[in-house]
Amino acid sequence: MTKEEIYNIIDQGINQKQTLILSVRHGLGSVINNTKFDPYIVGDDTYQFQFAWGYLPEQNLFYKFDLDNIESAKLGNEKFEISEEACYQYAIEEEHFAEVEGFKNIFMKAAITTS
């Protein structure tokens, strides 16, 4: 899959609150298939690398994927609810292109935009 196709699927998942099924590269290049991922945010980090941040329900873990490490993505059959425990640490110079509707716990972003 192209990076653009992966980005578009992540964006759809955010807009529809739909769990994604990812194949991701890790470590020395091994690929983990069938990784369930609830996408909350997609954007560029401080160094302008594209990322997707969200929840890995099978590991009970919030995680930030570099889009370059995602080999493929598809929409799953499950809808997700925003976890009450979700808290994203916003970095200076970071840009978000999409955030899941109803997710407000982005630490420091509120302070930056209100000052």
What would the pLDDT profile of 75-94 be if each residue is shown by its tens digit? 999 999 999 889 888 877 88
> Which residue positions in the chain have pLDDT lower than 70?
108-115
Domain range holding 62? 3-114
Q: What does the mean pLDDT of the chain come to?
A: 90
Token readout for 2 is: 């192209």
Question: Exposed/middle/buried for 9, CB within 10 Å: 0-12, 13-18, 19+?
Answer: buried
Q: Any idea what the CATH number is for the domain that residue 31 is in?
A: 2.30.30
Confidence (pTM):
0.89
What is residue 115's predicted lDDT score, i.e. its pLDDT? 47
Q: Number of folded domains in the chain? A: 1
